[in-house]
Copies of this chain bind each other. A is one copy, B any other.
């Protein structure tokens, strides 16, 4: 018996369906307001969250591998170097075609350096009257060697501290102008880029399926006519970056080659194509800058007939191209969808309180509404509750 009751209670609390009692008010003002807010929220979700922000998508960021290959030759005729043809192994550093490659455009050559002693290049730090002005073993950060402590003639008029160094010292005061390899703007670079989005096991290359090898042998990238050709003319890239190649070639700089792989993978794979853009990455403005441009020194080592090591020092100015691959892929996923929809639904539950407040504050019949909306019940509860007379109506409990 008792068990049966208990059992009933259980079932009741399990399957007894509770639904809030609603007060329906036929009042245009509130009704309109109510619907209006609802519509607004739903529109926001549909348009902004789903359509524009694609908040229903799970995202992954790109993994990429890049290889580059520069092509081109230049004939130069300089005082020191004489007639010289520059080919890729000479002007591309490092040679192995990584995602960041440097193209030599200008340089200062100092051949025949050997380990010995020679006077410093004159500067505020290195000029001297007597040995007293030079300290043996001192190595100026700005200097080009370690001082011997002697003060010697640099020229008829100038004396400078003597240094242990690779002599003769490089004198980089005047940079060749125009740039020695200014014609480098006609060089082309082939960029091979293969990317993947591991989370969606999506792989693709910047050499698209519809591109055939014959086309690749001849094409050059052009934003309008050949937007998918992976072969770029250096000059074009620098121009698109808003720079003047001949100027940049003098002191060098860094150009970023951005390959943008932003893709909506809910669309067919063929719509996922790279977008190329170019911009200068280093700070050319000399105001708050030191050593503007981009240069570095490297050397070729030889042994002369006396088997003494000599070297040719090259101060290389040029343009470093950094291939930077960006990308975020989005694909429908249930979790972000649920989260975003859910979160906005939560706002729908706010509409009622808002409208109630409006109704109970601004409507002339507010007292009536209040009376009907709220059933007051005080501590000293009366014994005749709502339900008891409900009892009278519905059979006995």
Contacts and interface: CB of A to CB of B under 8 A. Distances in A.
Which 8 pairs of residues, A with B, have the shortest CB-CB distance? A15-B31, A342-B343, A387-B390, A391-B391, A216-B290, A388-B391, A342-B346, A372-B386
A359 B89 CA distance: 81
Interface in A363-397: 365, 368-369, 371-397
Find the residue from A17, A94, A339 having the highest chain B CB count within 10 A: A17
Interface in A252-299: 254, 256, 281-283, 286-291, 294, 296-299
A24 to B, nearest CB: 5
A396 B95 CA distance: 94
Interface in A63-121: 63, 65, 67, 69, 71-75, 82-85, 87-90, 93-98, 100, 102, 115
A27 to B, nearest CB: 6
B322 A65 contact: yes
Nearest to A337: B343
A4 interface: no
Contact of A282 (B186, B194, B211, B326): B194
Nearest to A167: B85
Interface string A128-170: 0000000001010111111000000000000000011110000
B385 A368 contact: yes
A23 B307 CA distance: 105
Contacts of A377: 23-26, 368-369, 372, 394
A392 B388 CA distance: 7
B339 A343 contact: yes
Given A69-B296, A87-B166, A254-B65, A26 B20 contact: no
A108 B198 CA distance: 37
Contact of A164 (B85, B141, B209): B85
Find the residue from A100, A145, A335, A392 having the highest chain B CB count within 10 A: A335
B375 A372 contact: yes
A356 interface: yes
18 contacts: A15-B28, A15-B31, A19-B22, A19-B355, A48-B335, A67-B320, A71-B141, A72-B141, A73-B143, A73-B146, A207-B289, A207-B290, A209-B288, A211-B288, A365-B381, A376-B394, A388-B391, A389-B393
B343 A87 contact: no
B48 A334 contact: yes
A326 B375 contact: no
A352 interface: yes
A22 B375 contact: yes
A340 B335 contact: yes
A396 B384 CA distance: 6
A97 B296 contact: yes
Contacts of A67: 254, 282, 294, 320
A22 B28 contact: no
A122 B368 CA distance: 102
Given A212-B288, A391-B390, A137 B23 contact: no
A63 to B, nearest CB: 6
B393 A387 contact: yes
A18 B44 CA distance: 23
